[in-house]
Every structure is written in structure tokens, then in C-alpha cells.
Amino acid sequence: MQRGWFAKRRRAEELAIDEMNDAWVKCSGCGQILFARDFERNLKVCPRCGHHHRLSARERIALLADEGTFAERDAEVVSADPLGFPEYPDKLSKGRANSGLPEAMVSGTCTLSGVPIVLAVADFAFMGGSMGSAVGEKVARAMEHALAQRLPIVVCSTSGGARMQEGLLSLMQMAKTCAAAAKLHEAGVPYISVLTDPTMAGVLASYASVGDVVIAEPGALIGFAGQRVAQQAQVIKPPPNFQTAEFQLEHGMVDIVVPRKELKHTLYRVLRFFTGG
């Protein structure tokens, strides 16, 4: 949904990277020119200012899953165009081209530091990671698999929210994913939600907020409504860190803000608490 305002941010980020040749990358946080190799080695976190650049779903899976253990599931579940919505098929094609993925969510099983888990990871390059029927279905299936196998599940979100092009059906994915999360909740199957830049609107207001533990990446944009809408709505001036991971931590909505290089180990420590001992 509310996409205009961070689409601008996304374009700036892409441009900054595209303009450079393969050897160099410009940090979209501080503008520093960095060796691409160092930048990659540092997990796309700027060594100078600490800005966490977005990871693709594949990159994040590589970051979290033990090497060679990720087995993808439900890759065949992809978006249809149930409303015959203007330009939606084109946007889907572009999403596939931009991300190299069939859909905005990749899910499967793997081990994380030896702990078997279900892992689902969104990709912002596919239509802003937005949740339509296929994304909702993949999240629900991943959770149902976690329930059936009694495996903990980690879901990493990056999304502008519900996908406008599927109308009410997208909205209903909020209820569907929360229904699946409700079963995990009742069965006592651990669900860890990882919020990465950006996690907004219909995704934040559904499955992403009901994890047993909610972890966010530093500086990630996390919020309900676009900043412009939020500002227009009230006389109260938003604080400078409004809708960041740190703001959400300060207001009690996030358990931990974890730098990327510590994310896997932190997840391991959390998972071990729930599954080990």
C-alpha cells in the first residue's frame, strides 16, 4: 500500500549502487565510496556509518541458513490477477525480472547453526515485498509446515504492506497469516519475526507483529502509515527517529535491534532457548 514515499528512497538507493561500476559502491546512508568487495564482505553494511542496505531474499537466506541446507518449498505458488487490475501483469513481470524470483516471498527449511527451522524471507525487489494472495499463502503454508513438523519458524519481512493490486484479497492475507500464527501460538511452536527495512502497513499490522520474539535491523523503517499521512493526521510533530527500528524498540514494539553481523547468532541464541535444554 502506502508506497509512494519510500519508493523514492528505494530509487535513490538503487541509483547509488547502479551508477557505480562493479568495483565501487556508494553508501546511500553517508555517501562514502566503498570497495564493492568490502561492502559485500561486510554484509552490505557501510563500514563507515553502519547503514544497513537491503538484502535480497537469497542473500538473507545465505546469511542465515547453514551452507547447503536450505530446501525451498512452495516455489510454485505465484500471483494471479484476480481483479484484472490495471497494469498488474506488467508489474508482476517487472517484479520477477528485478528480483529474479517467482514471488515476493521465498520459504523453505534449513538449519541455523545446526538448529532445524522453517525460514521464510521476503524480497523488496519484487513489487516492494508487498503481500498478495500468493505471499499470504506461502507464509501460511510455511507456518503450517512448522506446526506439523514442530519446527521453529523465522520469518524475515521487508514490505510496503498489502498488495493494492489484489484489493480485498490482499487485505484478507493479513487475517490468513495471523490465523496460521494463531495456531503456532496455541501449539507453542516458536515464531521469530525479523523486521528489516522497510516493514510497513498491512504486513506490520499482521503476522510480522505477532512473533514470540520480534527482532529488527538497525535503522530499518518500521511503521503503520506513511510518514506524510502520519504527519498530516496530527499536530504532534514526529520525533527524528520516527518509524525506525530504534523508535519501535523505545516504544516497546520490538524486543531487540540487532546489527546484521550478529543476526544469525542472536537468532541461534533465541531459538536455543525455546528448543534446547
Footprint on this chain of other proteins (rule: CB under 8 A):
1-4, 75-80, 82-83, 85-87, 102, 132-134, 136-137, 140, 162, 164, 166-176, 178-183, 185-186, 201-202, 204-210, 223-226, 229-231, 233-234, 236-238, 242-243, 247, 251-253
Q: What is the spatial distance between Cα 10 and Cα 277, in angstroms, rounded to a whole number?
A: 43
Report the nearest approach of other proteins to the CB of residue 111 (Å).
Answer: 27
Report the nearest approach of other proteins to the CB of residue 118 (Å).
Answer: 17
CA distances from 41 to 37, 47, 157 (A): 6, 10, 22
Report the nearest approach of other proteins to the CB of residue 63 (Å).
Answer: 25
| Orientation angle between helical segments 57-64 and 260-275, nearest 10 degrees | 60
**Does residue 198 have a cis peptide bond before it, meaning omega lies within 30 degrees of 0?**
yes
Report the nearest approach of other proteins to the CB of residue 16 (Å).
Answer: 24
Of 1 and 153, which has the nearer Cβ to other proteins?
Answer: 1
Closest CA to 109 of 63, 157, 158, 143: 143
Report the nearest approach of other proteins to the CB of residue 196 (Å).
Answer: 15
Question: What is the end-to-end Cα distance of the chain in Å, rounded?
Answer: 43
Of 125 and 225, which has the nearer Cβ to other proteins?
Answer: 225
Of 21 and 237, which has the nearer Cβ to other proteins?
Answer: 237
Q: What is the spatial distance between Cα 233 and Cα 102, in angstroms, rounded to a whole number?
A: 37
Report the nearest approach of other proteins to the CB of residue 259 (Å).
Answer: 23
Q: Are 246 and 272 in contact (CB under 8 A)?
A: no
Closest CA to 228 of 12, 51, 3: 3
Of 34 and 204, which has the nearer Cβ to other proteins?
Answer: 204
Of 25 and 177, which has the nearer Cβ to other proteins?
Answer: 177
Of 98 and 111, which has the nearer Cβ to other proteins?
Answer: 98
Q: What is the spatial distance between Cα 262 and Cα 252, in angstroms, rounded to a whole number?
A: 21
Closest CA to 75 of 116, 98, 109, 114: 109
